[in-house]
Amino acid sequence: MNFFKTIFCLILLLSAEMPTMADSSYEKEIFKAADSLRSIVPTSDKEKLKEYNQTMDDNWSLFSKDKDDSVPVLVRILEQEIESKEPNALVLMDLTYFIALSDKKSERVAFLSKVYQRIDPEKPIISSNSQQFFLLSLYMSYKQVPGFLKQIDDKFLQTEATAFFIPQHVVNVDGHAQRTHLYGAYGKESIEHLLDLLEKEKNLKIKRSLTSILRRICTPICAKRIGKFLETEKDHEIFVNGTYILLDNAGPEGKEVYLKLRPNDLSAKTSDYFKSEQDYVRNQSYEFLISKIEKKFGKSGNSFSKSELKEQIEQMIRNKGASRTIHPLDLLQSDLDKDFLIEKLIEARRNCFLRTNQHGMQDIDINNLILNALYYRN
């Protein structure tokens, strides 16, 4: 009797230990997989590159087997790594990006931000994996991590990020495009931040980039500061960008500022351009913009109720700013509150920056056209 009792107790004890042993085995596999990243170095050898890519794919497959177990282990690995004097850049980036895509716990974002700050984009292994670094940065920006705008300044504005190609969209994403998406995805706070940078910046290339980005994200709050900036601006490209901001993003406030503008010492080319825009500006009104939209998109065949249109707008926001059902005139000619529409369209525009393709940028331009007309409404 005692013999059977002993055997039974032993079976229970082994059964209780089996999950722990299995967990320990899985944990060891995760540590081994993370460690394999340390042997990956930049290369132009196609066979070696294929091998490295397979290693990284296999790692993610392993991590994905049980994310509830793997993510805490990966966090521990990163905690150890950032304490190192010379942390491995690929370990930091790859594990952080996996956690970012896999873990829904918002409290981990602060930790991921801490890890992100230790990633040096000028390391060859990061520049050779520039697309993954950009996508991780886009995730951080969209989360509106406090202070992250300064990270974009340092890693993507003052430093020129390595371009990458997206075959499925047939698009080359260069340094300017990357910072455009990053500042855009951060949202409204980017506007004042970029205006502050623009007023202090001396580098011509960076000033051109800043005004180009502001063309995508400005609102009427930009009007006075852009007008003051243009009073003394000599570069033709920057002056044209500033003009577009005032006329396409700033509503009646932009029109008023532009008509009062008295720029100094313009080149003949820029002076001619400035004068040529005067008649266009004077004609700009709500009716003028509605006519422009009708010529471009035709008339709407929709007849949404208020509640239906609200749902369509929310669906567009959830779909990263894309809609196949809403016509621009549906929004402009609806009875929905103007301020509500402006707020929702700015939210939809922010989400468009999550799409790194031409369709995303086209939707941003359409969004800005609708917003500008709304600024003129009533």
Cβ partners under 8 Å of residue 237, min gap 6: 208
Residue pLDDT, tens place only, 317-336: 999 999 999 999 999 999 99
Amino acid residing at 309: L
CA distance 263 to 199: 16
Residue 155 has what DSSP assignment?
Answer: I
Stated as kind and residue range, the H or E segment containing 166 is strand 164-166
Buried b / exposed e over 242-260, threshold 16 CB at 10 Å, is bbbbbbbbbbebbbbbbee
Other Cβ atoms less than 10 A from the Cβ of 307: the count is 8
* Token pair of 196 as six digits: 């502050």
* Token pair of 84 as six digits: 């190192």
Residue pLDDT, tens place only, 224-276: 999 999 999 999 999 999 999 999 999 999 999 999 999 988 999 999 999 99
Domain residue limits, the chain: 23-147, 215-284, 297-376
Average confidence (pLDDT) over 351-366: 96
Selection from 377, 364, 169 nearest residue 289 by Cα: 377
Stated as kind and residue range, the H or E segment containing 308 is helix 306-318
* Token pair of 278 as six digits: 């005067």
Q: Which residue has the tokens 């700013």?
A: 321
What's the confidence (pLDDT) of residue 265? 86
CB 250 within 8 A of CB 218: yes
Residue pLDDT, tens place only, 268-300: 999 999 999 998 999 999 999 999 999 999 999
pLDDT level of residue 170 (50, 70, 90 thresholds): confident
Residue 171 has what DSSP assignment?
Answer: E
**Does residue 20 surpass a pLDDT of 90?**
no
pLDDT level of residue 98 (50, 70, 90 thresholds): very high
Q: What percentage of the chain exceeds 90 in pLDDT?
A: 89
pLDDT level of residue 11 (50, 70, 90 thresholds): very low
pLDDT level of residue 17 (50, 70, 90 thresholds): very low
Residue pLDDT, tens place only, 24-47: 899 999 999 999 999 999 999 999
Average confidence (pLDDT) over 341-355: 98
What's the confidence (pLDDT) of residue 168? 86
Task: Tell me, letter by letter, the H, E, C secondary structure of 113-140.
Answer: HHHHCCCCCCCHHHHCCHHHHHHHHHHH
pLDDT level of residue 23 (50, 70, 90 thresholds): low
**Does residue 361 surpass a pLDDT of 80?**
yes
Stated as kind and residue range, the H or E segment containing 173 is strand 171-173
SS3 17: helix
CA distance 134 to 145: 15
Residue pLDDT, tens place only, 124-163: 999 999 999 999 999 999 999 999 999 999 999 999 999 9
CA distance 51 to 53: 5
Selection from 209, 207, 202, 141 nearest residue 174 by Cα: 209
What's the confidence (pLDDT) of residue 15? 43
Average confidence (pLDDT) over 96-115: 91
SS3 299: coil
